Chains A and B, each alone.
Chain A
Amino acid sequence: MSDLSNHPTATGAAAALGGSANHFYLTHEHHPENGTLLGFWLYLMSDCLIFAVLFACYGVLGRSYAAGPGGAELFDLKLVALNTGLLLMSSITYGFAMIEMQRRRKGSVLMWLFITGLFGAGFLGVELYEFAHLLHEGAGPQRSAFLSSFFTLVGTHGLHVTFGMVWLITLMVQVSKYGLIQANRRRLMCLSMFWHFLDVVWIGVFTFVYLMGVLP
């Protein structure tokens, strides 16, 4: 009885094995469905290495004041807190734009992108004001190794935000012209990763540079 009931299953399994024994590769290759997002993520990781090197540079040189002013005298933490808030707000408004994109609402996507742009512009404005203030006090990048590494690190981040703004405006024009087509959705997702990544780098900047810089 058990022999009889086992037999069909055994032959079935053998047939299945025989069927798949002819080819030794997967007939349906499983590659990521959207290679662009993975490629862009790899770019972000390489960008992450640039920032890691700049952070290491600041970590080594951050206390070499050359008898000049140090972080405690130069940094205005209220301004930094404002900047952090602006960047965090721009992150969440970009998130809202992504949610509206999933719902295919072109108008509100454009509105949230515009608000994100405003917060980004506010961030850049405050940072430029801070830099101008430092330069005015004679604490430019040529003053000491600390200030050189500070301007390089924070300036590189600011440059990234600037290019993010250029990209944001370009995408707003694209979306308003061609709508939420698949290409534009892919571009919006890439910019989403870029924008949130810049916020992640800023966490390192305000913790490692500003907050630890003013500690005695």
Chain B
Amino acid sequence: MSAHDNNHEHHAHGHHGDHGEHGDEHGDGGMHATFRGYMTGFILSIILTAIPFALVMGKVIESSSTTAIVILGLGAVQIVVHMIYFLHMDAKSEGGWNMLALIFTSVLVVITLAGSLWVMFHMNANMMPHMNAHEARIAP
């Protein structure tokens, strides 16, 4: 166990030494943009943008709700593509704190969106002016 720890520490030291040698590189920590990465993200984005526009503008699918679900799904995939290839998100950036903040924010965003839509939809359904007092009482 302790030998293992020692090894780890040596490794960490070596890493630090490397960084010390190229002091100039120090500020670019965590971000290593590559042409290949950006182009992959760009091409995926174009495809993921073109499909929903084509679906809606060409009226490919009859049902509105199916189209809505498909384009929302494609939008979600495109957001993930941007996060990975343009924002360089991975579990290791900034020692994992970036990912933690992102997960926390995603949870809040989902609660905000789903909660608002859910509550307000029910209020619309149950408190419409055409309802009389009796109907409102027996409504689910």
Contacts and interface: CB of A to CB of B under 8 A. Distances in A.
Main secondary structure of the interface of A (DSSP, over half): helix
B53 A208 contact: no
Nearest to B86: A196
Contact of A211 (B24, B35, B53, B82): B53
A95 B38 contact: yes
Q: How large is the interface on B (under 10, 10 to 19, 20 to 34, 35 or more residues)?
A: 35 or more
A206 to B, nearest CB: 8
B82 to A, nearest CB: 5
Contacts, number: 149
B11 interface: no
A76 B29 CA distance: 43
Interface stretch (A117-125, A134-142, A156-164, A197-205): A197-205
Q: How large is the interface on A (under 10, 10 to 19, 20 to 34, 35 or more residues)?
A: 35 or more
A38 B97 contact: yes
B132 interface: no
A215 B27 contact: no
Given A95-B38, A193-B87, A196-B82, A211 B113 contact: no
B35 A41 contact: no
Given A32-B29, A189-B28, A200-B83, 11 more contacts: A17-B2, A48-B105, A84-B53, A91-B45, A91-B86, A96-B38, A99-B35, A197-B87, A200-B87, A215-B56, A215-B64
Interface of B: 2-3, 5-6, 9, 12, 16, 19, 24, 26-35, 38-39, 41-42, 45-46, 49, 52-53, 56-57, 64, 67-68, 71-72, 74-75, 78-79, 82-83, 86-87, 94-95, 97-98, 101-102, 104-105, 108-109, 112-113, 115-117, 120
Interface of A: 13, 16-17, 20, 28, 30-34, 37-38, 41-42, 45, 48-49, 52-53, 55-57, 59-60, 77, 81, 84-85, 88, 91-92, 95-96, 98-99, 102, 182, 185-186, 189, 193, 196-197, 199-200, 203-204, 206-208, 211-212, 214-216
